[in-house]
Structure 1
Amino acid sequence: MMILYIRNMMCVRCKIIVELEFEKLGLHCASVELGKVETFEMLSDDQLAAIKSALSKSGLELIDNKKSILAERIKNTILSMVYKSECHVKINFSNYLSQELKHDYTYLANVFSEEKGITIEQYFIFTKIERIKELISYNELNLTEISWKLNYSSVAHLSTQFKKVTGITPSLFRHFSNLNIHRPQMCEL
């Protein structure tokens, strides 16, 4: 088995693209996760070059630098936490990352900042704001429900953070969204 790490693989659509590209190349995946593919076979340099070329057409990139891989794993852990977590227990974010990635948080923070040019906390907040935009645009949940779903202490905290990052209130964003003036960005984190 061989493990490949892929940058910019952030959603189900990206996973499907990766699976299709591997299939087109006659390669078989044991598993495909956000940012990571396990193959049944060891791949030759020619096969890796073909994969790299195929993925680049979709904005995806094979990565082999250990620090880049770790930064991508941090990013994907945050994405999973924000987009998939239905756990409403308040957990210490730094402890969670350390446990999941099996590294000291200070090391993780330094690697992430070096590789991505922003802090883990900034990326986490940005990711949560993008998720809030998406949930507001769906128009299925009110702000109280969104606040609870994303583990905010209150709607006021969510609103303050949202306005600080976007420059507008969640209510104004909802209004624009209902007018189809603004769409949430998908796969752009």
Structure 2
Amino acid sequence: MKLYIKNMVCSRCKMVVKSVFENIGIIPISVELGEVEVKNDIAEHQKKELIKQLRSIGFDLIDDKKSKVIDKIKTLIIDLVQNKSNNLKTNLSDYLSQELHQDYTTLSNLFSEVESTTIEKYFINQKIEKVKELIIYDELSLSEIAYSLNYSSVSHLSNQFKKTTGFSPTYFKNLKSIKRKQIEDL
């Protein structure tokens, strides 16, 4: 049985969610971003406790089909930006269609209807937040950041950054008071 969990975006999330399941006596077979597989059905009292504990730490159980698809799209995009950006050998629409086994137009329409933004804008916002993170860490040059996030050039990254944030990357680097947004707040 697979359960879908909203707001799982990193390996720490997987550890925390696994621990919640184990604390209420459910041993997961596998825990991946956005989903947990368990061997048996979950009793109603366990499900209520699971929902309560997940919500207390910023997660939630997803029940309806639309929400599962939306969450899967978000999880794939976040994973792509955080872990595999430069490995994407196809465009985003083909990648999502292949991973979710659905037509991109269907996915795009559903996402826009539910989230009130496009998949592309969501993807760009995720990339810009990653750029902010890398700028703040100050370990990579802007050129290295552009390459690692699969931008065609530094000017493309700079233009998109300025369009999204209102600041140039250099100006942002000099601002210490600007806080990054948490992934789930995007």
- The residue number in structure 2 matching 1:185 is 181
Equivalent in the alignment of 2:124? 125
* Aligned positions of 1:78-117 closer than 5 A: 78-85=77-84, 87-88=86-87, 90-117=89-116
Q: Counterparts of 1:12-91 in structure 2 under 5 Å?
A: 12-85=11-84, 87-88=86-87, 90-91=89-90
Q: What secondary structure, in the 3-state scheme, does the structure 1 residue paired with 2:84 have?
A: coil
- 1:163–1:169 CA contact under 8 A, matched in 2: yes
Q: CA deviation at 1:186?
A: 3.6
* Structure 1: gaps of 5 or more residues: none
User: Shift of residue 19 of structure 1?
Assistant: 1.2
Query: Secondary structure at 1:31's aligned position in 2?
Result: strand
User: What's the CA shift for 1:16?
Assistant: 2.1
Inter-partner Cα distance in structure 1 for 2:157 and 2:167:
12
Aligned-partner SS, 1:84: helix
How far did 1:36 drift? Answer: 0.8
Contact kept? 1:137, 1:183, Cα under 8 Å: no
How far apart are residue 88 of structure 1 and its match? 4.2
Deviation per residue, 1:88-131 (Å, 9 max, x gap)? 45521111110011000000001111221211011000000011
* Superposed CA offset, 1:119-173 (max 9, x none): 1011000000011011111111110000001110100000000011111111111
Residues 11/186 of structure 1: CA separation in 2 closer, same or farther (3 Å cut): farther
SS in 1 for 2:3: strand
Cα distance, 1:59–1:41 mapped onto 2, change above 3 Å = same
What number of residue pairs does the alignment pair up? 185
TM-score by length of 2: 0.94
Question: TM-score, normalised on structure 1?
Answer: 0.92
* Aligned counterpart, 2:164: 165
**Cα root mean square deviation, aligned:** 1.4
